[in-house]
Amino acid sequence: MDDLPYVYEDGFEGFDHRIIYYESSRGCPFNCQYCLSSIEKGVRIKSLPIVLKELQQFLDARVMQVKFVDRTFNCHKKHALGIWQYLHEHDNGYTNFHFEISADLLDEETIQFLKVVRPGLFQLEIGVQSTNESTIHHIKRKTNFLKLADVVKSINEGHNIHQHLDLIAGLPEEGYASFGHSFNDVYALEPHQLQLGFLKILNGSGLKKDAKKFGIIYKEKAPYEVLGTTALSYDEIIRLKMIEEMVEIYYNSGNFYFTIKYMEKYFKTPFELYEALGDYWLENNLHLLNHNKVKLYTILLEFFREILSVDEKVLMELLKFDMYLQEKVKKFPYWLERQEQYKGVTINFYKDEENIKKYLPNFGQYTSKQISRMTHLEIFPLDIIKWSKDFTKPLEWRKNAVLFDYHTRDIFRNNAKYRTVELIYNISQEM
């Protein structure tokens, strides 16, 4: 590995806003039957001093993101920890590093170390693939899901690392219901991204040899994707494709966080929610069109109206909250009321210097008009912030003012920073 040329020796011109790929090891010690990396035996590792010297060039150039293509980055603890520690100590406050890891290999020392790195410095991709033990056995994976789940939860407590979890549909003996279980198990870990992939039968893989045994039918041409198995029909795969799209739109985008949290309680499992959403999209041919963000919020409201006969006022408030988390809403959907009655409250809030000092201390150099354009103050009849501290508790009707700051966003969902503000002016009198 040390003899391989460094591909970025001409510098980083033209790489602005591009992902930089980097390899510090080749091969994988594991033997997953669908994966070509399992064929090559052994793992070759680039010497740590060379890796660190090369990584320093990424840091100096302040590239946006470096994606390690190492198949299981942490299969060699000393190597992985050496790199992580160096990146932590030489952090430039900007570059993000992405790693594919086997979470159940992380020990307590490493987990505790990971909890203290800069929020946004590292991003972890963790392959779960399935939580069905028989499936895991047939594909010869070694994952200990309970250990993996503990590690993911523990890292989540640090609120500093983006975690991306993967599932694969179409694996041996993983039927539709079983995939639903795997989905719910992984969803419960609250990853920032949940990726639903579909099995590909690659030339030379163990599963290609065993395809007949598991009744796997797949495309003869690239991308060699599964079309059906003894356990999973073609129609079920099509349904799962729609669920994948729903997860991308409504979960992975992070644009519907509070609304989806609320909707979950109307379904027995999260899988059933995304299944119902997928069916609704198919029945209404919504998948045939491109929808802008505003339309996506409206579709969610209309889905809720049609599928569940419950008070939609709550949902409208949550949708509004989610919309304002993304941006200062300028294009209003038909169901969203403008808060004309609170106009006076808002103007008074921004005019009061004490409010700016207290709630927006970094905006001191701006005029109240400029600040009101960079932030947003909205009065909600529901206490969504209190509810967000514990989603198992009921959402209470209590009028409160929420300030959204679009200059400070969270690293995971790109949501504006938000907080409750106390208004001297009594908002209940404004009705």
Instruction: Return the number of the residue (32 or 403) whose C-beta is nearest ligand SF4.
Output: 32
3-state SS, the chain, equals CCCCCCCCCCCCCCCCCCEEEECCEECCCCCCCCCHHHCCCCCEECCHHHHHHHHHHHHHHCCCEEEECCCCHHHCHHHHHHHHHHHHHCCCCCCEEEEEECHHHCCHHHHHHHCCCCCCCEEEEEEEECCCHHHHHHCCCCCCHHHHHHHHHHHHHCCCCEEEEEEEECCCCCCHHHHHHHHHHHHCCCCCEEEEEECECCCCCHHHHHCCCCCCEECCCCCCEEEECCCCCHHHHHHHHHHHHHHHHHHHCCCCHHHHHHHHCCCCCHHHHHHHHHHHHHHCCHHHCCCCHHHHHHHHHHHHHHHCCCCHHHHHHHHHHHHHHHCCCCCCCCCCCCCHHHHHHHHHHHHCHHHHHHHCHHHCCCCHHHHHHHEEEEEEEECHHHHHHCCCCCCCEEEEEEEEEEEEECCCCCCEEEEEECCCCCHHHHC
Instruction: Return the number of the residue (207 or 403) whose C-beta is nearest ligand SF4.
Output: 207
Instruction: Return the number of the residue (168 or 323) whose C-beta is nearest ligand SF4.
Output: 168
Instruction: Return the number of the residue (33 or 368) whose C-beta is nearest ligand SF4.
Output: 33
CB of 41 to ligand SF4, least distance (A): 11
Tell me the two tokens of residue 23.
Answer: 């390899």
CB of 135 to ligand SF4, least distance (A): 14
Instruction: Return the number of the residue (25 or 259) whose C-beta is nearest ligand SF4.
Output: 25
250, 274 contact by CB (below 8 A): yes
Instruction: Return the number of the residue (35 or 226) whose C-beta is nearest ligand SF4.
Output: 35
CB of 33 to ligand SF4, least distance (A): 9
Residues at the interface with ligand SF4 (CB under 6 A): 28, 30, 32, 35, 37-38, 71-72, 127
CB of 125 to ligand SF4, least distance (A): 10
CB of 148 to ligand SF4, least distance (A): 12
Instruction: Return the number of the residue (110 or 375) whose C-beta is nearest ligand SF4.
Output: 110
Instruction: Return the number of the residue (46 or 71) whose C-beta is nearest ligand SF4.
Output: 71
CB of 192 to ligand SF4, least distance (A): 20
CB of 115 to ligand SF4, least distance (A): 24
CB of 143 to ligand SF4, least distance (A): 9
CB of 207 to ligand SF4, least distance (A): 11
Instruction: Return the number of the residue (205 or 255) whose C-beta is nearest ligand SF4.
Output: 205
Nearest to 81 by CA among 109, 116, 103: 109
